[in-house]
Amino acid sequence: MDKTISYLLLLGNIVLLVTGQMLFKIGLDRSGGLNWSKLIISPAVISGIALYGIATILWFAVLTRLPLSVAYPMQAFAYVLAMLPAYYIFGESITPTKLAGVAVIMFGVYLLARS
């Protein structure tokens, strides 16, 4: 049970980081790029920063429960999760090469979770 909680905290951290990145991208798109005066007041960017703050608190909890050599590489799962909103929200393509990369990442995350 304790290991399950550790991995749920890690998954929560990853989901928050991916969501924060999506909000950063939305904020950048709406502000017309790297326009700092607009970005610092962008609700999307501010929300993304807030999610990063919460993710950091979760990361602290993860680090108290899992070895860094397991937890940190497992954050590669963020690449997998980010591909779906990138496709649906931003219209980015999912190529066979990207799918192969995701398969490799998923296999690596699986191996780490078993250790």
pLDDT (tens digit, 9 = 90+) per residue, 80-109? 999 999 999 999 999 999 999 999 999 988
pLDDT computed for residue 111 by the predictor: 87
Mean pLDDT confidence for 62-79 = 91
As a whole number, the mean pLDDT across the chain is: 93
- Domain count along the chain: 1
pLDDT band at residue 112 under the 50/70/90 scheme: confident
Structural domain span for residue 41: 3-114
Please tell me the predicted confidence (pLDDT) of residue 1. 75
- DSSP result, 52-85: HHHHHHHHHHHHHHS-HHHHHHHTTHHHHHHHHH
| pTM across the whole model | 0.89
